A = this chain, B = another copy of it.
Amino acid sequence: MRKVDPVKHAEKRQEILDAAERCFIRDGFHGATTASICTEAGISPGHLYHYFPSKEAIIGALVDANLKRVAERFAAASAAPSGVVAALVSEVDQKKPKKTRNARLMLLDMFAEAERNPVLAEVIRKHSRGILTLTADLVRRGQDTGEIDRTLDADAVATVLMSVIDGTRLIGIRDPKLETTKTFGLVKTMIARFLAPPPT
Contacts and interface: CB of A to CB of B under 8 A. Distances in A.
Given A27-B116, A182-B153, A193-B194, A166 B159 contact: no
Most B CB within 10 A of own CB, among A167, A168, A196: A167
Contacts of A124: 173-174
A108 B105 contact: no
A94 interface: no
Contacts of A87: none
B189 A194 contact: yes
Interface of A: 27-28, 30-31, 104-105, 108-109, 111-112, 114-116, 121, 124-125, 128-129, 132, 152-153, 156-157, 159-160, 162-168, 170-171, 173-175, 178, 182-183, 186-187, 189-191, 193-194, 196, 199
Closest 5 A-B residue pairs measured CB to CB?
A167-B167, A112-B112, A128-B174, A163-B167, A190-B194
